[in-house]
């Protein structure tokens, strides 16, 4: 097979890049190790910044997001038995939409198939060849048969555990990592929403988060040991922990319901640079990971491929590659700011096993400053909605 751009990975980054290229008249083929059913059923959180919403809308894949997503104009910080609202729209003029990642994937798959885009699911044995030359290729197995794609460029959108980042040359490569020593225990619950907006709660027992999925499904999280196991947590124990961490002096309580999904996710920050070498480029989780506290993961992936699509369009339309050559620097400016915000939110709201009493009081004092200072609340709001 021959194409202009070979894309490894059919997550939000790979699918959106393929669609943006299609809108610019650039051919691509997307390879994915999982089935279509698998990628559309993998439930992931989704808080979309204003810029992400605009990119999806302008690409013609935002109709269902607008119809079914929950537009939020604020978030709440809870600590000391009280909740404090940060008015995102009043402070920044922007908002966020809660719309799960797997729904974005469904929209993008539908758009690519409607445009006769080439999506190859359930491929295995992916290997990259000649990415340091002008004629890179990708070999793989599909439907039990060996195959190869010759391309002008190869784009790695295959996540942290994918094959593309290890294919980057080691010379000059640098990885930045922060492991936080705790995780999030997440549940999906059949119940009416407990709140119209997200609640980020800091408690001495640990962090907790109240979110929504639909008018009948809640998504709730609480800080836990990443080595713990869901079997150690009965429904009664989960509700007792959430009530304890989310307790409010005004009598508000989280709504209970049938828990139909449980899982534990780790918390880490990670950046690998450079994000390009020869004709190989990385985007999304292939190059960086953020803790979910800042709600930046999918937004960074969208930002990466938006920059990359512009560079590829310039290359094919104008015969210039200055945007492609500057891709890493352009992407990293956005990435490091999101890494900072995610680290800051994580540090602000979680309990740390090695924290001294002084450090805990500093954490409480910082929260008080955020909710009482318009300047600090604006800084949080600007970073949260991506207004920078």
Chain segment 42-88, per-residue pLDDT in tens = 777 789 999 999 999 999 999 999 999 999 999 999 999 999 999 99
Tokens standing for residue 63: 């109709």
pLDDT, one tens digit per residue, over 225-268 is: 999 999 999 999 999 999 999 988 888 999 999 999 999 999 99
pLDDT-based confidence at residue 388 (cuts at 50, 70, 90): low
Marked catalytic residue, from 19, 22, 72, 106 = 72
CA dihedral 237, 240, 245, 251 (to 10 degrees): 160
77 found inside a domain: no
Residue 229 structural domain: 181-267+353-385
128 found inside a domain: yes
Residue 286 is predicted with a pLDDT of: 97
- Whether pLDDT at 182 is above 90: yes
Residues 259 and 318 placed together within one structural domain of the fold? no
Marked catalytic residue, from 292, 315, 327, 350 = 292
70 found inside a domain: no
Residues 21 and 147 placed together within one structural domain of the fold? yes
292 carries an active-site annotation: yes
384 carries an active-site annotation: yes
Marked catalytic residue, from 19, 22, 100, 200 = 200
Domain count, the chain: 2
Residue 45 is predicted with a pLDDT of: 74
Residue 184 is predicted with a pLDDT of: 97
Whether residue 141 has a cis bond before it, omega within 30° of 0? no
Q: What is the mean pLDDT of residues 371-384?
A: 97
Residue 133 is predicted with a pLDDT of: 93
Marked catalytic residue, from 296, 315, 327, 350 = 296
Tokens standing for residue 294: 């800042």
Residues 200 and 251 placed together within one structural domain of the fold? yes
Residue 43 is predicted with a pLDDT of: 74
Q: Which helix (H) or strand (E) holds 297?
A: helix 297-318
The residue among 329, 345, 262 whose CA lies nearest residue 297 is 345
Name the DSSP letter for residue 195.
Answer: -
61 found inside a domain: no
25 found inside a domain: yes
Q: Which helix (H) or strand (E) holds 364?
A: helix 357-372
Taking the C-alpha atoms of residue 383 and residue 51, their distance in angstroms, rounded to an integer, is: 12
CA 147 to chain centre: 31
CA 234 to chain centre: 29
List the Cα angle 170/175/179 in 5-degree steps: 145
Whether residue 272 has a cis bond before it, omega within 30° of 0? no
90 found inside a domain: no
87 found inside a domain: no
Residue 126 has phi, psi (to 5 degrees) of -70, 130
Residue 289 is predicted with a pLDDT of: 97
Residues 258 and 230 placed together within one structural domain of the fold? yes
What is the C-alpha end-to-end distance of the chain, expressed in Å? Answer: 41
What CATH number is associated with residue 250? 3.30.9.10
SS3 193: coil
Alpha-carbon separation of residue 366 from 4, 54, 348 (angstroms): 50, 33, 8
Average pLDDT, the chain: 95
Residues 190 and 319 placed together within one structural domain of the fold? no
Residue 46 is predicted with a pLDDT of: 86
At which residue do the structure tokens 């090695």 appear? 354
SS3 186: strand
100 carries an active-site annotation: no
CA dihedral 11, 14, 15, 21 (to 10 degrees): 170
Report percent pLDDT > 70 for the chain: 100
| 159 in Cβ contact with 11 (< 8 Å) | yes
Residues 238 and 330 placed together within one structural domain of the fold? no
288 carries an active-site annotation: no
- Whether pLDDT at 358 is above 70: yes
| 241 in Cβ contact with 205 (< 8 Å) | yes
- The pTM score is 0.94
Q: Looking at 247-356, list the stretches that DSSP marks H as alpha helix, in order from N- to C-terminal side.
A: 297-318, 322-325, 327-349
- Whether pLDDT at 10 is above 90: yes
Residues 104 and 156 placed together within one structural domain of the fold? yes
- Whether pLDDT at 140 is above 80: yes
- Whether pLDDT at 359 is above 80: yes
- Whether pLDDT at 130 is above 90: yes
Residues 120 and 216 placed together within one structural domain of the fold? no
Taking the C-alpha atoms of residue 209 and residue 104, their distance in angstroms, rounded to an integer, is: 22
Residues 186 and 217 placed together within one structural domain of the fold? yes
Residues 210 and 336 placed together within one structural domain of the fold? no
| 123 in Cβ contact with 33 (< 8 Å) | yes
Residues 130 and 209 placed together within one structural domain of the fold? no
What CATH number is associated with residue 326? 3.50.50.60
66 found inside a domain: no
Residue 6 is predicted with a pLDDT of: 98
Residues 188 and 313 placed together within one structural domain of the fold? no
161 carries an active-site annotation: no
């Amino acid at each position: 097979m021959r194409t202009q751009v070979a894309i490894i990975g059919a997550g939000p980054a790979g699918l959106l890049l393929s669609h943006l290229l299609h809108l610019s008249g650039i051919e691509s083929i997307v390879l994915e190790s999982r089935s279509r059913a698998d990628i559309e059923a993998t439930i992931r959180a989704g808080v979309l910044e204003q810029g992400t919403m605009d990119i999806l809308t302008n690409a013609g894949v935002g109709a269902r997001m607008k119809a079914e997503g929950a537009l939020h104009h604020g978030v709440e910080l809870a600590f000391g038995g009280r909740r404090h609202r940060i008015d995102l729209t009043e402070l920044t003029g922007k908002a966020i939409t809660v719309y799960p990642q797997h729904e974005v994937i469904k929209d993008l798959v539908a758009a690519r198939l409607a445009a006769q885009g080439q999506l190859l699911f359930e491929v295995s044995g992916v290997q990259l060849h000649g990415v340091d030359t002008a004629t890179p290729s990708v070999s793989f197995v599909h439907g039990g048969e060996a195959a190869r794609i010759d391309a002008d460029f190869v784009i790695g959108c295959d996540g942290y555990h994918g094959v593309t980042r290890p294919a980057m040359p080691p010379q000059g490569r640098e990885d930045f990592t922060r492991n936080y020593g705790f995780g999030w225990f997440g549940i999906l619950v059949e119940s009416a929403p407990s709140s119209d907006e997200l609640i980020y709660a800091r408690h001495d027992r640990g962090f907790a988060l109240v979110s929504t999925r639909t008018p009948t499904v809640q998504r709730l999280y609480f800080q836990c040991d990443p080595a713990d196991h869901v079997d150690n947590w009965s429904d009664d124990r989960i509700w007792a922990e959430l009530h304890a961490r989310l307790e409010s002096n005004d009598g508000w309580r989280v709504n209970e319901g049938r828990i139909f999904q449980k899982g534990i996710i780790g918390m880490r920050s990670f950046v690998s640079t450079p994000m390009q070498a020869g004709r190989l480029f990385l985007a999304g989780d292939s190059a960086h990971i953020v803790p979910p506290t800042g709600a930046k993961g999918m937004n960074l992936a969208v930002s990466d491929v938006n920059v990359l699509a512009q560079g590829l369009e310039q290359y094919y339309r104008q015969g210039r590659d200055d945007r492609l050559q500057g891709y890493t620097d352009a992407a990293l400016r956005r990435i490091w700011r999101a890494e900072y915000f995610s680290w800051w939110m994580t540090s602000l709201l979680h309990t740390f096993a090695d924290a001294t009493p002084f450090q805990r009081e500093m954490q409480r004092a910082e929260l008080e400053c955020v909710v009482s200072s318009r300047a600090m609340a604006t800084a949080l709001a600007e970073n949260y909605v991506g207004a920078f």
